[in-house]
Amino acid sequence: MKKHCVELQKTGQFSQFFLDYIGGKKVLAPFYAHLPKLESFKQAIEQKTFSEGNRNILVEALQSQYANLEVSHVVSANISSLASNKTFTVTTGHQLNLFTGPLYFIYKIVSTINLAKKLAKTYPEYKFVPVYWMATEDHDFDEINYFKLDGKKYEWSSEQTGAVGDFELDKSFKAFLKTVSFAPEVFVEAYSSSKTLAEAVRKYVNSLFGDEGLLIVDGDDVKLKSEFTEVILSDLFEHKPFEKASEATEALQELGYDSQIFPREINFFYLDKGVRERIEKMESGFGVVNTEFRFTDEEMKALVEKHPERFSPNVVLRPLYQEIILPNLAYLGGPAEVVYWLQLKGVFDHFDVPFPMILPRNFALLINEKVKRKMSQLNWDMEDLFVDVDHWKKTFVKAEASMDIELNKQKEVISMLFDSKGKEALHLEKTLKNAFEAGKVRSLKIIDQMASKLRKAEERRLHTQIERASCIQELIKPGGSPQERVVNMMQFYMSNPHLISELLDCFDPLDFRMMVLENES
């Protein structure tokens, strides 16, 4: 792949909040612990505290999670290495999208693997393990039950409820799988041999990235949840996470930054087979919304101690849970993820948990020969791929027009004529000035109508060039959204089985620019 880089500011795809953070704007310094730079990792390593006991629990949990899966030597070695205080993780996370969902699922993992490699070269006395956190507890099925390929949507419909990781790959899924008979064997094998969605995702992610040493962590684990009981109790009875996150949210809003997440007094769901519903404080005790579950204060405390796995953190506390159970140094996420972490540092400080470095994943746009050819015909460079096409069309048509299609000189002449004659007519009758003014407005409207007809005529004459630009836009921004947020990786993977290895060669996790990659297959 040929690689070209474009500054993120020039793409029009990112919020000012995100750009200010990666740009190191000083007013945001209180909301994070480390600047997103390679040299910051030395301090992050020194500040990360993770006990031997926690490491042993993590190793045991991962060995159990991988028990029925054949793994590479490097994955096995990475799991064992977590018992050493010289080993640290770098992590990304994502939902269990069908067949990986949008391209950025792959981009997140590739960025994380490459960060671990870069750290290993920079700090050879330590070991760094890349981690993919499976969002098995998420219950928003409508966000993950489809993927888009070549403009077509492939969707699985299911009546199952609760955490999506527990969804069974039943008859309805088998019927859905038949509609994607073109899928590569890595996916077919994973889905066909699995009972649940979580099991299938673990299998295909391991098949795609296991040789790179990627570890797949499922937080829905009783061993791991047992380390989180202090936070669960504090959230339920003291509402400290709500208090700390709200303070940061208000401070950021005063600086002009919009909230990405909204903390609640209680930031846990009740989790059980088929159920993931919010826990709410009631006049007496607690209740689980949309269910008949009710608990006294004492019953709730006992439940936390006996069954911590029944408590599923929301977006406010999932990051804290991750950092409590992993010897983690950095989290890599998309632009919205990166900035919502900045609302959470106070929560980490309250529980005396080191706040990780927050890094953006790599951003990329894959283009093929068809796009390159049309770019050449339009004399576009890589930055032109990110222009607003409607704005480009107006500018292009005006520049290429055979005459002044806006009729600006004519408008000036008519305005001057009506203004001049209106002033002259004042001595005859004062109301004539208003009449001339009204005549000017009507005349200018007629000129505008003529200008519009001229523009449309020029657009018809320049139809070929405009059609090329529209075609490029649909390929790189289907439906108006960036390619990486819409298109499934199979669109490129099926014609280029080396796609992932080529991405690994191209991505640099500390280069915060948009990569335009020429996919030569």
pTM exceeds 0.85: yes
Specify the pLDDT at position 169: 97
The residue-averaged pLDDT of 369-398 equals: 88
Residue 83 DSSP SS3: coil
Residue 521 pLDDT more than 70? no
504: confidence class by pLDDT, cuts 50, 70, 90:
very high
515: confidence class by pLDDT, cuts 50, 70, 90:
very high
The residue-averaged pLDDT of 282-306 equals: 96
Separation of alpha carbons 429 and 371, rounded Å: 65
Separation of alpha carbons 391 and 409, rounded Å: 23
- Reduced 3-state DSSP string for 36-70: CCHHHHHHHHHHCCCCHHHHHHHHHHHHHHCCCCC
Tokens of 295: 């608990």
Residue 112 pLDDT more than 70? yes
- Residue in 309, 315, 303 with CA at minimum distance from that of residue 271: 309
pLDDT digits (tens, 9 = 90+) for 339-357: 999 999 999 999 999 999 9
Specify the pLDDT at position 405: 65
What distances in angstroms separate CA 466 from CA 46, 147, 181, 376, 391, one per listed residue?
A: 56, 30, 37, 14, 12
Specify the pLDDT at position 402: 65
What are the DSSP calls for 314-347, one per residue?
-TTTHHHHHHHHS-EEEEEE-HHHHHHHTT-HHH
Specify the pLDDT at position 391: 85
Specify the pLDDT at position 488: 97
Specify the pLDDT at position 264: 96
- Indicate the length of the chain as a whole number: 521
Residue 124 pLDDT more than 70? yes
Q: Which long-range contacts (CB under 8 A, 24 or more apart) does 139-145 make?
A: 139/163, 139/164, 139/269, 139/276, 140/95, 140/164, 141/167, 143/95, 144/95, 144/96, 144/97, 144/98, 144/101, 145/98
Specify the pLDDT at position 410: 80
Separation of alpha carbons 339 and 257, rounded Å: 10
Residue 425 pLDDT more than 90? no
Q: Among the listed ranges 100-114, 182-196, 371-385, which one has the minimum average pLDDT value?
A: 371-385
113 against 413, higher pLDDT: 113
The residue-averaged pLDDT of 405-431 equals: 78
Report yes or no: 146 and 99 within 8 Å, Cβ to Cβ: no
Report yes or no: 436 and 425 within 8 Å, Cβ to Cβ: yes
Residue 470: alpha-carbon gap to chain centroid: 26
Residue 440 pLDDT more than 90? no
pLDDT digits (tens, 9 = 90+) for 48-71: 999 999 999 999 999 999 999 999
The residue-averaged pLDDT of 456-469 equals: 81
Separation of alpha carbons 342 and 30, rounded Å: 9
Residue 155 CB contacts under 8 Å (≥ 6 apart), including other chains: 145, 146, 176
Residue 241 pLDDT more than 80? yes
427: confidence class by pLDDT, cuts 50, 70, 90:
confident
437: confidence class by pLDDT, cuts 50, 70, 90:
confident
What distances in angstroms separate CA 257 from CA 16, 261, 337, one per listed residue?
A: 8, 12, 14
416: confidence class by pLDDT, cuts 50, 70, 90:
confident
Q: Among the listed ranges 17-26, 315-324, 411-420, 466-475, which one has the minimum average pLDDT value?
A: 411-420
494: confidence class by pLDDT, cuts 50, 70, 90:
very high
Tokens of 249: 């949210």
The residue-averaged pLDDT of 296-318 equals: 97
Specify the pLDDT at position 191: 97
Specify the pLDDT at position 408: 77
Residue 310 pLDDT more than 80? yes
Specify the pLDDT at position 103: 97
Specify the pLDDT at position 422: 75
The residue-averaged pLDDT of 156-172 equals: 97
The residue-averaged pLDDT of 311-327 equals: 98
- Residue in 343, 363, 293, 351 with CA at minimum distance from that of residue 324: 351
- Reduced 3-state DSSP string for 491-505: HHHCCCCCHHHHHHH
Residue 257 pLDDT more than 90? yes
The residue-averaged pLDDT of 496-515 equals: 96
Strands (E), 235-390: 268-272, 275-281, 286-288, 294-295, 311-313, 328-333, 357-360, 363-367
- Residue in 49, 16, 25 with CA at minimum distance from that of residue 356: 49
